[in-house]
Amino acid sequence: MYTAFQQAPPAAVLDAIHNELEAIMLPSGLRFEWYPLSDAGGRVSSQLAVIHFKGQCDAADMRPEWGYPGALGWTHVSDGQILPFIDISCEGLRLFVQRSLSGMPPASRDSLFGRALGRILAHELYHLLARTTQHADNGLAKAAYSAEDLLAQTLRFGKKEYAALRNRGLRLLAQSEGLAALPESSGQ
């Protein structure tokens, strides 16, 4: 799967996003290639997601304040169809986790912030790839998180969500290799 982004976060944050997304998606068998949107033209892919990181995407100048910004990420939907466009609110995440991050060593803040962004992105990619607007009761597919969830050592999908992602990965592989399409699974 190709992932094109419009505005890249700083290198340390982007590396942390890549590392977290790779770790989260490993059980699903999905792999991602990342390109700035300006470099994505002419690439062929059975699945493309365009990610728009909105606002300041680093952990600079964190304050020991807390705020609830609302949605931290969203996948676009039109007429009930999930579109391959994802927005991530870096500004919202900064507001949401700044109290926790301001108490962390400055050298680790961008990495932790990137981990949190990777988790938000994985959640939105789950909606896109599993073609669902539904949420789970726990794990990465749940509807809302605490700052501690986003900054914890690990946060992963549940078995049902990984099964849906693996099913989609098999369909993408079949399409890219020109094989007959696999039937859609309800994931149950």
The per-residue pLDDT for range 116-130, each reduced to its tens digit, is 999 999 999 999 999
SS3 50: strand
The per-residue pLDDT for range 44-64, each reduced to its tens digit, is 566 778 889 999 999 998 888
The per-residue pLDDT for range 63-119, each reduced to its tens digit, is 888 887 789 999 999 998 999 999 999 999 999 999 999 989 999 999 999 999 999
Q: What is the CATH number of domain 2-176?
A: 3.40.390.10
Cα separation, 89 vs 74, in Å, equals 9
pLDDT of 25 higher than 80: yes
Which pLDDT band, with edges at 50, 70 and 90, does 175 fall under? low
Cα separation, 32 vs 4, in Å, equals 10
Give the percent of the chain with pLDDT over 70: 81
pLDDT value at residue 126: 95
- Long-range contacts: 184-187, Cβ < 8 Å, 24+? 187/130, 187/160, 187/163
Which pLDDT band, with edges at 50, 70 and 90, does 40 fall under? low
The per-residue pLDDT for range 123-174, each reduced to its tens digit, is 999 999 999 999 999 999 999 999 999 999 999 999 999 999 988 776 665 5
Burial class (CB in 10 A: 0-12, 13-18, 19+), 45: middle
pLDDT of 181 higher than 50: no
Extents of the domains making up the chain: 2-176
pLDDT of 184 higher than 50: no
Which pLDDT band, with edges at 50, 70 and 90, does 22 fall under? very high
